[in-house]
Copies of this chain bind each other. A is one copy, B any other.
């Protein structure tokens, strides 16, 4: 199958991901942090390795400030519910995913104030608009690094500067960029970085995480056994244990570690360049097909390999079914769990057909996809 659904989850993974997950399960599949025997220690060591590699990739000084979660959604929930209390004000962009919007809409019913700053037609949010929304009780600014609908990349550095100036906690949802676009928490002044492990980071599903800058205090979302201070009926205070109750997804983390190593070895710039080249090629190709409307930024520098289109008046789900059944191409049709983003670009009633490019895609793949779109568009 020609897989162009990498925004949902990347596929395939590097071979080392599969291999090391099985090696881990077969050779040292004990419970990390729960016992002192060698197998458990080796498991704990693998978890720490993954934290160190994540820290390297994101420019994080202390790997222990990275907390593993089941997915980016859990990381986002932990961040917003851990930070915000009734009376607080939070600013988010209109390009945020439901993983940001839905928990905030729930918090709104409990007395948290929301301001949704509308992005421009390309999906980019402007610093000026954000500044206008800042209030005396603004505690948090949340911005997606790149939209999962348009692929448009926000200028994290300038938004980070703005947050710092106004003493607002700055949270970035890097679900679509971690592993395929540079992220540096120091350079970008990021306080909370939520990321998915199974997309650009090339790890298996069931992995994700949250970086929490020192000094940012979050309440816990779940409490329980941590393997530490068992005699205390209260959750421990120190990271990462405070936020990692329950057995960790060891094989998942071992796989994620290999995904990140693959990225570090390949070089994030090379990954970015490859995906960028394919994205340009596909956008140019799509631009030549009649009846196809392409959404998102035309600035290739600030774009990832997420391409949303509509074809004439055709139903997006129907198009994707045809791509699947007739052309053996995996793409996603619909609203992609991001209704506000569709409202922003005007596709809330139709959804879009989304092609999302991964590092293992080739020019040949794009040629095939373009051929299929052309045939479906009847041009």
Chain A interface residues toward B at CB < 8 A = 1, 3, 5, 8-9, 11-13, 17-18, 21-22, 25-26, 29-31, 34-40, 69-74, 76-77, 97-103, 105-106, 196, 198, 204-208, 220-227, 230-235, 245-252, 317, 320-321, 323-324, 329-340, 348
Q: Which residues of B contact A105 (CB under 8 A)?
A: 223, 233-234
Q: Which residues of B contact A250 (CB under 8 A)?
A: 204-206
**A359 CB, min distance to chain B CBs, angstroms:** 15
Partner of A13, one of B12, B29, B337: B29
- For A207, A252, A317, A320, the residue with the greatest tally of chain B CB atoms inside 10 Å of its CB is A252
Q: How many copies does the complex hold?
A: 2
A-B contact pairs, 6 of them (CB 8 A): A9-B29, A9-B34, A21-B21, A36-B320, A103-B224, A106-B220
Contact A225 B40 (CB under 8 A): no
**A224 CB, min distance to chain B CBs, angstroms:** 4
Determine the distance from Cα of A331 to Cα of B38 in the docked complex, in whole angstroms. Answer: 10
Determine the distance from Cα of A17 to Cα of B251 in the docked complex, in whole angstroms. Answer: 12
A335-B35 contact, Cβ under 8 Å, with A11-B29, A330-B40: no
**A72 CB, min distance to chain B CBs, angstroms:** 7
Partner of A333, one of B36, B77, B324: B36
Determine the distance from Cα of A136 to Cα of B34 in the docked complex, in whole angstroms. Answer: 39
Q: Which residues of B contact A198 (CB under 8 A)?
A: 247
When C-beta atoms are compared, the residue in chain B nearest to A204 turns out to be: B251
Contact A224 B76 (CB under 8 A): yes
